[in-house]
Chain A
């Protein structure tokens, strides 16, 4: 199995234009500028990678005799970037719905699910599905992600309201299971409006919210009932097994959509009801709520898909002042959050080509975010949000050997990615992939601003 698989994977990599993936047990990057993020910035230092971990870093670090040596002069070493909320590595079910990458079970669940008549039917609930079981290194998006400097992602399945248990993964590996760093890391919740009568409950935003609320109330009762039953199983009726609730119980944190100002307010008010740690994602209109977000003391995931003028709309249609303002100010949100000391990271949100990811990050720099803050948001902050900063997110001895080596400063036009190390494995992203026409973009994640459906309203 493994032997058949490996050449196929390498073949794919070559065909897509990425340099041969190398595996050296020991690598030393010598005389490079090293941005550790956690502490010192070394103008000239050596980073040693051994057996997939960072074994030494510093100006005085010795180059082991058995190391494959890379001359780092003129190069900068950053920790590998982390996508704070992603679907990288998980075959998209959206295009599938019976084909594509979805497994048979997935497709069947989508097509044969009966019309839900209330929360009891657990509509659009995949809370038990594990990203860790779904990831595969054959996802073609991994290569363009690496070309942009990403080595890891907090990845989640993408269907339903309760989308499933995420996993922190590395963006390379021989098999899916090699990629998983930690799981489960959270439960992504998206609001989906099926509309009036075509699909089952819930059809409205308020239906979504009441469903989420009900499911957590059910979880309370479920856990209480299980406890009471465990203490006294004889003579008591057993609580019914509910995998939707099992999935929720296992979620260490919740990711909730909050794009516009009223949605941010709504989630800040609603989320505490659910009695779980939570993270808000979206945040494009957060410039109106910096202070409230700071006081809430919760981590945020800022979408890198900045709002843009709709390209396929009526050209004569004039955008509202609010839309114009949001398009103008959204990229300034990261800078404002950094200044206010709010803990945040970025997520790709369907921006998938290396060129577009770089462009999106550059926009945040142009609007007030410093390069150091941007790098931190892409590395250590993301790791901290998921509680995995003890093993990744910075260049420190003992952490996973995830690095990106660039010629030039990160996010600048002329900067190139020379090497990417994922779990110690070396990649050379091709120049074409970094600068050329980007691959077809994925759809934006639903949730914060899922397409509103045209309801027939009865008033």
Chain B
């Protein structure tokens, strides 16, 4: 892929200088306000400023003729692990809330571009599920070519990953390691049972409350003019205090209905809210309780039985939870699946009989609601960010392909341009290869320093085409 890392633009300038774009004659699927045949959408300064049938293009607008094509809101993935450098899990401890995905976002991960090409514009980038309380998480826009800081979704509430069940209790992780890590001994780590997972979470929140009280007492003393020794600032407990204060969302990985109820009880006891249950394959059994807690559910369309706790699943899960009043989204949990979430949405029409709008909502407005960003994205409405996807065919059809993708009114993907520039790109690549081959003919063996066992380019998993 082209290397689009260019000169840094100032972070604040992202939405400025966006051109005025007029998309006309599209089937505009707003998701929240119905579908407009032969509709037009006007984009100014990165925002949607007009939607309708009988609009005319301003003189300075770039006109996109979308005859026969479908315009949808940008797709939102509520469970992504894309663009994380140096490990998705800090799996060495059972509460790793001190680590933050924001610190290791890699904007050069080629998967960003590939997912963008599938119409994805926003992702909730989560820590893995190795521990009961995982790392801090972040919502990002897929602004390919920009820096990590520039990819962050402005104003989005940050989150933290929790995980229940087999993963945090290390089910199926024998002491001798397995898979690629066969032979690499793993130390047994508390917790080893579901009871232990519950206690880790409870214990951490008890500590967080003590910590919160210590700081409160300290601040009061300072206010009285005393000079006490300040408490230690603890990066592990800070985010949990934020959770207690409602400033940070909890995204909880879970499968079984009993552990879902367990977490709701712990949350009620400790006084925090769960924002979303992730995967939540048995959510259909406890949908009313999830709805009553006010949590969302982000699940898979038809993927299950990959482990014991994922057996009692149903493709009707999303539809059932939705009908019981839960805000439901479908997520990817995968760099591959994130490239066609529109098709995942389509499956809820087959399993559960949802309408087109309800199905599309599963990957647009619903995840936006779950992430607290539905005032800015998730549907085609005047005043929202111009995060849009132009499909050549109906987006719920398996034959559809995104043609153009805009974020904040900037075009970040254009299928035609991508295909057009490929031969030139291949030529450039070939030239580099030839030059290298000529400089050091194969077979020539160098000795000495730099018999490099650790060439960085060979070992970084985030190098494009190397994954």
> Which residues does A use to contact B, with CB under 8 Å?
115-119, 191, 193-211, 213-214, 217-218, 220-221, 224-225, 228-229, 236, 239, 259-262, 265-266, 269-270, 284, 288-289, 291-292, 305, 307-311, 313, 315, 318-328, 350-353, 355-356, 437-444, 446, 448-459
- Chain B residues with Cβ below 8 Å from A196 are 87, 89, 91-92, 130, 181, 186
Given contacts A206-B86, A265-B148, A356-B449, contact A313 B454 (CB under 8 A): no
Cα of A420 to Cα of B237 in the assembled complex, Å: 56
* Contact present for B463 and A451 (CB under 8 Å): no
Query: CB within 8 A of A305: which of B334, B433, B450?
Result: B450
Distance between Cα atoms of A202 and B453 in the complex (Å): 23
CB of B433 within 8 A of CB of A324, answer: yes
B90 near A201 with CB under 8 A, answer: yes
Let me know if A210 and B108 touch, CB within 8 A.
no
Q: Which of B173-215 contact A (CB under 8 A)?
A: 173, 177-181, 184-187, 189
- Chain B positions within 8 Å of A, measured between CB atoms, are 1-3, 5, 7-8, 81, 84-93, 96, 98-101, 103-108, 127-130, 135, 147-149, 163, 167, 173, 177-181, 184-187, 189, 227-230, 232-236, 333-334, 425, 428-429, 432-433, 435-436, 440, 442, 445-461, 463-466
Q: Name the residue of chain B whose CB is nearest to the CB of A441.
A: B449
Neighbouring B residues of A449 by C-beta, 8 Å: 454, 456, 459-460
Q: Select one of A117, A119, A352, A454 contacting B180, CB under 8 A.
A: A454
B232 nearest CB neighbor, chain A only: A221
Q: Which residues of A contact B229 (CB under 8 A)?
A: 224-225, 228-229, 236, 239
Instruction: Report whether B230 and A328 are in contact in the complex, using a CB–CB cutoff of 8 Å.
Output: no
Apart from A196-B181, A310-B458, 5 more pairs, CB < 8 Å: A197-B187, A211-B98, A323-B466, A326-B457, A458-B129
Q: Which of B435, B446, B449, B460 contacts A452 (CB 8 A)?
A: B460
In the bound complex, residues from chain B placing their C-beta under 8 Å from that of A259 are 456
Closest to A309 in B: B436
Q: A354 → chain B, closest Cβ, in Å?
A: 10
Q: Can you report 23 A-B residue pairs in the complex whose CB atoms are below 8 A from each other?
A: A116-B92, A194-B92, A195-B184, A197-B173, A202-B90, A203-B92, A205-B85, A205-B103, A206-B100, A210-B98, A214-B98, A221-B230, A224-B230, A260-B460, A262-B85, A288-B5, A311-B446, A321-B2, A322-B457, A439-B448, A444-B452, A452-B461, A458-B163
| Cβ B99 vs Cβ A321 within 8 A | no
> Are B464 and A322 within 8 A (Cβ)?
yes
Q: Which residues of B sit under 8 angstroms from A328, Cβ to Cβ?
A: 432, 435-436
**Among candidates B128, B228, B463, residue contacting A458 with C-beta atoms closer than 8 Å:** B128
| Cβ 8 A contact of A325, one of B90, B333, B432 | B432
Query: What residues of chain B lie closer than 8 Å to A450, measured between beta carbons?
Result: 454
Q: Indicate which residue in A200, A205, A327, A459 contacts B87 across the interface (CB closer than 8 Å).
A: A205
Give bound CA distance, A118 to B428, whole Å: 47
Chain B residues with CB under 8 A of A195: 87, 181, 184
- Beta-carbon nearest neighbor of A320 in chain B: B465
Q: How far is the CB of B92 from chain A (nearest CB, A)?
A: 4
Question: Could you tell me the distance in whole angstroms from the C-beta of B52 to the nearest C-beta in chain A?
Answer: 41
The CA-CA distance from A323 to B3 in the complex, in Å, is 11
Task: Report the separation of the CA atoms of residues A266 and B100 in the bound assembly, to the nearest whole angstrom.
Answer: 13
Please indicate the chain A residues that have their CB under 8 angstroms from the CB of B428 in the complex: 321
Output the residue of A204, A288, A326, A351 with the most chain B CB within 10 A. A204
Contacts of B129 in A (CB 8 A): 458-459
User: Are B108 and A262 in contact, CB atoms less than 8 angstroms apart?
Assistant: yes
Partner of A441, one of B98, B181, B186, B450: B450
Would A198 and B101 count as touching, CB distance under 8 A? no
Residue of A198, A218, A320, A452 near B185 (CB, 8 A) is: A198
Option from B447, B450, B463 in Cβ contact (under 8 Å) with A323: B463
Distance of A85 from chain B, by nearest CB (Å): 16
Query: Which chain A positions have C-beta within 8 A of B92?
Result: 115-117, 194, 196-197, 199-203, 207
Residue on B nearest A116 in the bound complex, by CB: B92
Residue of B81, B128, B180, B450 touching A308 (CB-CB under 8 A): B450
A352 touches B91 (CB 8 A): no
Q: How far is the CA of A228 from the CA of B432 in the complex (A)?
A: 61
Expressed in whole angstroms, the Cα–Cα distance for A459 and B129 within the complex equals 6
A119, B98: Cβ atoms under 8 Å? yes
Cα-based distance from A198 to B184 in the complex (angstroms): 7
- Find out whether the CB atom of B108 lies under 8 angstroms from the CB atom of A260: yes
Q: Which residues does chain A contribute within 8 Å of B460, judged by CB atoms?
A: 260, 449, 452
B101–A206 touching, CB < 8 Å: yes
B458-A197 in contact (CB<8A):
no
A209 CA to B148 CA, complexed, in Å: 15
Q: Given the complex, which residues of B lie within 8 Å of A261, measured CB to CB? A: 5, 108
Distance in angstroms between the alpha carbons of A195 and B177 in the assembled complex: 12
Structural contact, B181 and A456, CB atoms closer than 8 A: yes
> A449 vs B442: C-alpha distance in the bound complex, in angstroms?
25
Please tell me which one of the listed residues B103, B180, B228 contacts residue A266 in the complex, with CB atoms under 8 A apart: B103
Give Cα A257 to B88, complex, Å.
20
Closest A residue by C-beta to B95: A118
B130 close to A214 (CB less than 8 A) = no
Complex contacts, B186 vs chain A, CB 8 Å? 196-198
- Alpha-carbon distance between A272 and B104 when the two chains are bound, in angstroms: 16
When the two chains form their complex, are residues A459 and B454 in contact, meaning their CB atoms are under 8 A apart?
no
Chain A neighbourhood of B108, CB < 8 A? 260-262, 322
Nearest CB in chain A: distance from B429 CB, A: 5
CA of A313 to CA of B459, assembled, Å: 11
- Within the assembled complex, what's the spacing in Å between the Cα atoms of A330 and B456? 12
In the assembled complex, the CB of B118 is this many whole angstroms from the nearest CB of chain A, namely: 18
B99 x A204 contact (CB < 8 A): yes
Q: Is the CB of B429 within 8 A of A324?
A: yes
Measured CB to CB, the closest approach of chain B to A260, in angstroms, equals: 7
B96: chain A residues at CB < 8 Å are 201, 207
Q: A292-B8, A457-B89, A459-B88 are in contact. Are A437 and B447 (CB under 8 A)?
A: yes
**A313, A441, A452: the one within 8 Å of B86 (CB):** A452
Q: Determine whether the beta carbon of B128 is less than 8 Å from that of A459.
A: yes
List the A residue with the shortest CB-CB distance to B127.
A206
Whether B87 lies near A197 (C-beta < 8 A) is no
- Tell me, in angstroms, the Cα distance from A439 to B86 when the chains sit together: 33
CA distance A318 to B90 in the complex (A): 31
